[in-house]
Homo-oligomer: A and B are copies of this chain.
């Protein structure tokens, strides 16, 4: 199905920064999202899983469709660079002579569990901070922007954080994650009230130790209620 490709935006959270897993292309020196073409006997979801596994070594991610990118000119823009990267590597080269649409998927992963693995066309697989302005293939920069917009809207309707935070975390750590995704500061008391209202946190008996200040409480997600909120949307909105 050479008309249909998939691109995956894989988010991780580290050092209070939101990062994206990107492949660094050997010849063009540009970054690219992990992506590939749909095979004839796959669903898009299966293809996305396969691509992420092949290109990054990650298995069984929760990947979510967010948008199809279909500008007829999108696959022409960087044709020379694509040709260079694909040169001598299977007949795949001709894929890029034709128009193809790309279905965007995104995923949130546990930064510490990932072993980035480059593929045939790339010399590195890097976590790149969203604050870094790197050069990117085709419309991949736009695809990342749309994924972030989707993530921001998702904060209003679904829980987030399970794969992005350690198992035990403080309320300020959770708030920092939200602030990083939203790109703005939030009111501390208002945030805490809303989060507790959603009823997806367990307050632990232990507190965080080692800080200079009064030790903050630790929380973890209540898996059963977290899962339910993922499916039904957050409670307490209506």
Contact = CB atoms under 8 A, between A and B. Distances in A.
Contact of A186 (B45, B70, B101, B238): B238
A142 interface: no
Nearest to A157: B156
A212 interface: no
Nearest to A67: B65
B44 A156 contact: no
A71 B99 contact: no
B152 A40 contact: no
A176 to B, nearest CB: 14
Contacts of A152: 233
A3 B42 CA distance: 13
Which secondary structure characterizes the binding site on chain A?
loop
A103 interface: yes
A67 B237 CA distance: 24
A209 to B, nearest CB: 30
Given A3-B1, A103-B68, A157-B153, A238 B40 contact: no
A67 B155 CA distance: 19
A70 B99 contact: no
A178 interface: yes
Interface of A: 1, 3-4, 38, 40-45, 65, 67-68, 70-72, 99, 101, 103, 152-153, 155-157, 178, 182, 186, 190-191, 194, 233-234, 237-238
28 contacts: A1-B3, A3-B3, A3-B4, A4-B4, A4-B101, A38-B101, A40-B99, A41-B72, A42-B70, A42-B72, A43-B72, A44-B68, A44-B101, A45-B70, A65-B67, A65-B68, A152-B233, A153-B157, A153-B233, A155-B238, A156-B157, A156-B233, A156-B234, A156-B238, A157-B157, A178-B238, A182-B238, A194-B238
